[in-house]
Structures are given as C-alpha cells and as structure tokens.
Structure 1
C-alpha cells in the first residue's frame, strides 16, 4: 500500500508496532463505535492494527463504547491501558450509533478517518482498497456490501428499499448507505454535526458540503458473535431523518423558498375564495355565513400568513446559525496561486 496519498511518507518514517505518532504525522484514525461486542473486540483491534502496520501507515484506533452492558467497557479500558495505538472513548450511556460515531470523529487525529462496525462483519483487509480509491481525488469512499451476509426479511429487503429511496431523495447514487466501512478525509467531517440517525446519511451530508464521493465493493462476513442490535424498529427514525436531509440539501440557506412559496399559495387561494364569496354576497344577494367555503377561505389565509412567518423566522435562524459560528455558506476546494488573495483581482481555481 502506497501511503503517498497522505501528506508525509509513512514508509520512510519507519512505523513501529503499536506506536502512535504526533498529530501532524498520523495517517489514519480508525473509528469503531461499539455496543455489546465483548467477544469480537480483541480480534477486531488486532486485525485493524495488523492491516495498517502491513501497509506501513501511522495510525490510531478509536473505539467508542456506547454504554455497553456485556463487559465491553471493562475489556476496552483494559486494552487501552495495554496498547499505545488504542484510545477508548467511554460514553456515559447508550446514545446510539450516530452519537458514538460523532464522538469518535471529535477524538480523531488522522488525516484520513476510517469507520467500521465492531461486529467483524466489515473486513479491515478492505481498508487499503478504500485508501487507494481515496487517493484518486475523492473526499469520501463508501463500501458496498454486494454479497451481504444478513437475514433477508429483517435486513436485506428493508435495506434495499431504504437505499433506493435515499438515493432518489438525496441525489447521491450509491448502492449501500448502511455500510459503516467508509474512508473520509479529516477536513470533510470537521464541519459535520450529527444528530438523530444521520450517520447513515453521511454521504448525503458530505455531498451538501461539496465532497467528491466514490463507492467500491467490499467484503461482508456473517456475524460470528452475539446478535444484531438493529432491526425494523429504526425505519421510522430513518424516514424522518431523510426529510431532514432533503430539506438541508434543497433549502438550508434559503428556507423562505419553501415556507414562503406554500404560504403565498395558501394566502392567494384564501383571497381568491374570499373574492368569490364577496361576489356571491353583494352581486347575487345570497347568504354566505353558513357556507364551508367561508371557513376554508379564512383557514387558508391564516395558514398562509403563518407559513410566511415561519419562513421569515427560519431565515433569521439560518443567518444566526451561519454567522454565530462564522460558518460560510460555500466550500472552496482549492485556491491556486499564492497571490490569489481576496480582492487582489487574481483569478483562483475553485
């Protein structure tokens, strides 16, 4: 594995086993969220370490324990005390995979972040392939479990439906959103704030940030220990988060365009019905007080005013969100030329 895709030449530095180098020299941060995986944890850590050492990459392994109750916490604490390449992040309780992954991202020091599950179904041997694809100029490389070793009814069928729906809504055409085995450039995840079940939408979030995304096939093994922690119960949460992603993709910096449009349409319909009823009342002399159309006109007009007000409030909140964090509404991929400073009149390559 050629580590030239990362700044710094790990091969020339001579990586020693289980030695973590300073922040500026680390190539890889392997982030592993886990919950009740005491049997697979030792095998997983040893395998990740062996693969990264064989490819002469400096690394750290960050295992985030999401409130395990099977002894994983104690084992992880013991392993972290014995190994210098392992960092144990122990959460106070079970927050969910998204929170565990976010905690791992915040602790990571590598130039590239690799994520994978702790159940040994993802194969660490695929990491070099992810890095090789990343070196082609991509910001995120996602694994595709073409030959999944999971239950058909509870995992495979819902997953295929979800992947199709997510791809349609987000516009990011990858086959396997649920695969945890991914490689990210560190600067990509720095600006990502994860909530709910958003970890499975990371490619879509990265796309919003302007990332270049690729997907490669990876191996997938049958579960060796324990049982899956996820089932059909998470479907509703995923659908709700999908609406969030769609809104962020389309209207994050212009919420008035959605609230204002519906509000304006509602007000215009209410006014049109009101004008019709006014004509009926004064031109035709008919009573309108007991007509359902009168109530509909009032409801439509008031609803439109409320939606328009929501749009204004959302615009103010959006501005507060960006300005309070000094967060720009754009992402620059590259500036070419040292003299290409703002206002200098020199064109830059973006």
Structure 2
C-alpha cells in the first residue's frame, strides 16, 4: 500500500501530463514519500489517456481511469478517491498551475497534525501570476459567496482552491453524503467532510503550460448551483430564509413605533426634527425586535459569548444594511432608474449585508 495517492482529473492535458509526472516524481523521491499518480480522464479526444498509460509503463506508479459516460472535475476526483490506495489523498490539476514541488509540504502537514491541508493563493506568502482584472473580480466574488453560503469556508483563505490534501478518513467518515457538482470539490469537503483541523500552505498559482482554461459560463453557473445545493443540504439556506422572514416581520414593528412616537407621543409637533426622531425610534425598535427573534430562532445554535457584543454587532449590521439601501436608492434613482426599482435593489443588497455581517460577526459559525 502506497503512502499517498495524488489524484489528477484530466481533459485534454496530453502535453502537460508528462511534465507533471516528471516533476512530481522528482519532488516525492527527494522527500522519500511513496506515492501513486491516479489519472482520471474524461475520455479526452487529444489522447491524454494514452499518454497516461505510457507513463504507467515508464514509471509503474501511475493508475489510469477513463470515464466515457461521465463528465466533470468534482465527480472525477470522487472516482479517484474510490480507486486510490493511499492513506493520504492529494488533489491537483494537470496544467502545472499547481506546482508539484508543493505536494511534499502538504503531505508533511497531514502527517503532523492536520486533517485537511489547503494550498492557498491568498495566504500571506501566496500569489497569482498574470490574472487579468476580470478573473480576479470573478474569483473574489465567488469567494465572498462561498463565505456567505458555506460557513465552513471560514477555515481557509482560499475556499476555491483546487489544490489540497486530506486524510482518507475525511472522505470515508463524511457527515453527509458527498455529491459534488462542477469544479469545486473542496467546498463539498469543507461542508460535509469529517475533520478537526484545517491547515494552509501558501503557493504561487502559476501560468498554464499548455491547453486552455476550463473556466466559462457553464462552470460559473454550476458553481452557483453547487453553492445553493450545499446551503440547502447543510441548513444554511433555511437560516437565510428565516433571517429574511424575521426582517420582513420587523417592518411592522418599525412602522408601529414610528406611528406611535410621531402621532401618539407628540413628535409631530416638532416638525422635521420630530419626524427624524420618530424614524430613528422605529428603526431602533425593529433592530431590538429582530435581534431577539434571531437569538431565539435564526441563530439559536450559535449564541456564544456576550449577548451585549452580539447585539452591538447586529446593530452595526443593521446600520450598514440601511446605509447601503439608502445609497442604492439615491444613486440608482439619480442615474435614471425608477425609484421603486432602485429601492428594491437597495433592499436586497442591504439584506445581504445584514445577513453576512450578522452571520460572521454577531453569530459566527
């Protein structure tokens, strides 16, 4: 039985695979690590599987699986898990943007005290070579969505990484069935895997040696669907819907307090100042009401530490959300968008900010 199984899903990577195999073998040999290279190919038309079979004849450390009826990186990795013999798994791409020389360090951390080790482009010493502005924006947006919908991504600076290592038990003892979609298998493992400690190793995300990037509209759509699926399976989607429902019910409290202060308590006689004071009272009443419901319902499983600190964080979330809503209302209306549409967009953005801040600061996972 080998020590490590390096799982590499491929599609049209015939030029990259021999270089990867050579560099990986040198790095693992230098570190004294026994390993196998598991190539899971989706029946590439460029002959990648044949190249892999030739590598098996040359090195004897290569296992080749060709899938003819399935497609997708994440499911290919899952197939690799099934056939792998190692105690430890390493997942990486074949395009050499994931440097094989980093693999021994990932394995070293597993053997020390980590269950899952993520090679991060965004940690202190990591970086990305030659990404354009659009690609950086897409990656940043995808990371923010992951942090919002999959709380377990808090353990890493790079939840979108496709380069990581894990103990076999993380997969075999998963808390929920693993059923990944698209390209981001790491999200599935973070959300459902069985682990106690997640570690990071910085690396430089290099240039693709040959072939074309698989990123496209379909991949991005699959990513969004995968995120929503994970949010539903882990209960985070229900939490978000509950948060929105509580916020909607808070509107009644807001309006009621506004009316009471303005009409019944006489603030109306003070003119604009009275209206502002009544509006502030209505806002604060809804904040208190919403906070109490979130404590009892939405985040009842995350009440940690001081209730005062939780309330202050929620207050800040509410203020930020209200400011964002007002900014979108004024900005978009000024730009020519109908004020009702502008306000609706502001409400959605404000809700997202309230939830994100609340879920990460007031009631962190």
- Select which of 219, 227, 236 maps to 2:221: 236
Contact 1:203 1:213 in 2 (8 A): no
How far apart are residue 79 of structure 1 and its match?
2.1
In structure 1, the partner of 2:32 is 56
Match of 1:143 in 2: 119
Mapped to 2, the partners of 1:44 and 1:258 lie a distance apart of: 43
Deviations 1:325-344 (A, max 9, x none): xxxxxxxxxxxxxxxxxxxx
Return the alpha-carbon distance in structure 1 between the equivalents of residues 135 and 189 of structure 2: 20
SS at match of 1:45: helix
Distance 1:92 1:128, change over 3 A: same
Structure 1 residue 153: deviation in Å?
Answer: 4.2
Choose the corresponding residue for 2:187, options 185, 201, 218: 201
In structure 2, what is the equivalent of residue 301 of structure 1? none
Unaligned runs of 5+ in 1: 1-22, 266-350
1:166 aligns with 2:146: yes
Question: Residues 58 and 210 from structure 1, CA distance in 2 versus in 1: closer, same or farther, beyond 3 angstroms?
Answer: closer
User: What is the aligned residue count?
Assistant: 236
Q: Unaligned stretches of 5+ in structure 2?
A: 247-365
Deviation by residue 1:224-281 (Cα, 9 ceiling, x = unmatched):
21211222432222112111212222379xx9x999x89x99xxxxxxxxxxxxxxxx
Aligned-residue CA RMSD (Å): 2.7
SS in structure 1 at match of 2:234: helix
Q: Normalising by structure 1, what TM-score?
A: 0.61
Cα gap change, 1:184 to 1:200, in 2 (>3 Å): closer
Pairing 1:189–2:174 present: no
* Residues 103 and 218 of structure 1, relative CA distance in 2, 3 Å threshold: same
2:158 pairs, out of 176, 179, 184, with 176
Equivalent residue, structure 1, for 2:273: none
Matches within 5 A, 1:47-126: 47-93=23-69, 95-126=71-102
| Distance across 2 between alignment mates of 1:107 and 1:52 | 20
More helix by share: 2
Q: Residues 51 and 200 (structure 1 numbering): CA distance in 2 closer, same or farther, change over 3 Å?
A: same
Write out per-residue CA displacement over residues 126-149 of structure 1, whole angstroms, 9 at most, x where no aligned residue.
112212322342210111123112
**Matched-pair contact (CA < 8 Å) for 2:149–2:236:** no
CA–CA separation in structure 2 for the residues paired with 1:237 and 1:158: 14
1:38 aligns with 2:14: yes
Scaled by the length of structure 2, the TM-score of the pair is: 0.59
Q: Structure 1 pair 247/132, CA: closer, same or farther in 2 (3 Å)?
A: same
Which whole-Å deviations, capped at 9, do the CAs of 1:7-56 have from their partners, x for residues lacking one? xxxxxxxxxxxxxxxx2xx2111101111011111010111111111111
Q: 1:93, CA displacement in angstroms?
A: 4.4
Deviation at 1:169, TM superposition (A): 2.1
Alignment partners' CA distance in 2, 1:178 and 1:56: 30
8 Å CA contact 1:33, 1:101 repeated in 2 = yes
